[in-house]
Amino acid sequence: MPKKIQALSYDEFMSRHASEFAETTAGSAISATHLMRGTADNPVSMPGWIVNLLRAAALENCPSAYGSLVHFWLERIGAKPPAGVFIEFPQRGTPGRPRSPVTEQTFLTWVSLGRPSVHKSNLARAVYGKQFSTAGSEQRKKLIDRCRRAIERRQTQLNAS
């Protein structure tokens, strides 16, 4: 396993590499202010297609594409960024909490019953069975509300897709 190198602060990095920042093709120095803002009088030469894609990603406000392109370019020139500079986002599935199988089962029961009113006890009685029958009035109301909210959530999910 490779040994971890302690992270440098920005000021430490700038003091260690001050002479390298002073060197440019036009002889003018890159100031720390320009570097922090990401602006320089003489930008580093990059392939035109990467520059065009970076500009498009910036104009279209697509941070993930912009970051991927910068990461790709840095890898191509052999300047692999340290861990933590670029955070990878999972590209799997849909965002948010996983869908509950209880919600799906409640929805399917509601459809099989012919879509009865979600404000009455028919659906809750079918979903919860004996638990609904033995519950008091407050608990029954909670079970009916739970079924109603499950149906509303599922309908919202279906309408969104």
**What is the spatial distance between Cα 56 and Cα 24, in angstroms, rounded to a whole number?**
27
The string of pLDDT tens digits covering residues 6-24 is: 665 656 665 665 665 555 4
Sequence letter at residue 66: Y
Sequence letter at residue 50: I
* Residue carrying structure tokens 């890159």: 30
Q: Are 140 and 124 in contact (CB under 8 A)?
A: yes
Instruction: Report the sign of the C-alpha dihedral through residues 104, 108, 113, 118, in that order.
Output: positive
Q: How far is CA 89 from CA 29, 63, 68, 74, 92, in A?
A: 36, 12, 11, 19, 9
Q: How much is the pTM?
A: 0.43
Domain boundaries of the chain, sorted by first residue: 10-44, 45-89, 101-160
The string of pLDDT tens digits covering residues 143-161 is: 999 999 999 988 888 887 6
